[in-house]
A and B are shown apart, each in its own frame.
Chain A
């Protein structure tokens, strides 16, 4: 059964396009929608499909390659690779995430969501990601 995996970006968003690509791909990689061996579009092809500059796509791919998700060796296709598991419970990383999640929760509460709804959503999302 063929998988239909789409990347969606919003040019009008305040989030830079390269960051949108990184975050969307990382989500797919973490939740297992993209698996080792998958071949992603070349920089040229993805930039053409999205109508954006190829350096933007190249920057996003480079960042994911540095994180160990992609092999972007020159002249080869962009391939998802087996990633070495990062160290568990790195305190600095946990602290960084805590700060970001606090901001997100504050934003959600400011928009009227109850703490119960926020907790339910966080639980559901965390459970959905491997």
Chain B
């Protein structure tokens, strides 16, 4: 018998991914269509509507397949099926995008020869400033101090994981690794995200404070800050578990524990939406069309920029012709893998 709650989360994740992939057809940089620079009126043409329709059909067919595989994964207890389903969904969306890009390529127009750039621009500040960036570290540090002070109150063996009925099914010991492990992992993740915020702050397009691009950059900068607070809160609560247990049970209702990341994700989505609704009122996209591989990956050895604005979706992407981009990608992939390896040793 499949636990309905256990299967809802992965199915919801797959459907949400389908919604996010569909938004590709809405969030395209003005003057571009599926990664191709086109005339301003082209996106409303019959051909463009047909391209968009084909893309959406492919995305939702793949999403339906991924949903079936997710349900099947939990029915037969093979998590690999869920992973295969998400890969199928992503792969199909990429192929559909590539197909739309090729179809649109015939409508490509030359980049404007008149170019402008903002010379004097205010420094882009992280929303909330230094306290917003340092706060999550203080939350983790505070939990660390509380555990040190109350060390003798920590049971020698304590539960750290519960099933949906509230029965403990995972345990840890009162050792440095068992008690401070979650906080160490949190600190590493937060340091990585802090670096990402500073990298993003330096890499975005300069724009005057009154421009939509400036407001957009600030909203995008707030997204990782929100994620940092959610991570710090969740890990701090997890680390403080041995101090807050009541008769061996976790005292915070599961709904509250779910509400924290959900609120964080909602805030991040709202910020992304807000950033996407800001007008692109400074220099338009000057990147060469031929450097957008498949219309989605930017590779331009003649461009010293590491970050360039996306042609679809919201925010920035990397210039894969720069080694720094690969180093960053490697770091982003290696960090969670390293944490999982260390945590499961």
Contact = CB atoms under 8 A, between A and B. Distances in A.
Contacts of A45: 205-206, 305
A12 B119 contact: no
Contacts of A101: none
B163 interface: no
B303 A54 contact: yes
B286 A50 contact: yes
A49 B208 contact: no
Contacts of B288: 51
Given A8-B115, A10-B114, A41-B117, A2 B283 contact: no
A100 interface: no
A8 B114 contact: yes
Contact of B283 (A5, A25, A49): A49
A10 B208 CA distance: 22
Interface in B288-339: 288, 302-306, 308
A40 B118 CA distance: 9
Interface in B108-134: 111, 113-122
Counting chain B CB atoms within 10 Å of each CB, the highest count among A12, A28, A43, A49 belongs to A49
Given A4-B120, A10-B113, 17 more contacts: A2-B209, A9-B116, A11-B114, A11-B115, A41-B117, A41-B119, A41-B121, A43-B304, A45-B205, A47-B305, A48-B308, A49-B118, A49-B286, A50-B115, A50-B286, A51-B287, A53-B302
Interface of A: 2-12, 25, 28, 34, 38, 40-41, 43-54
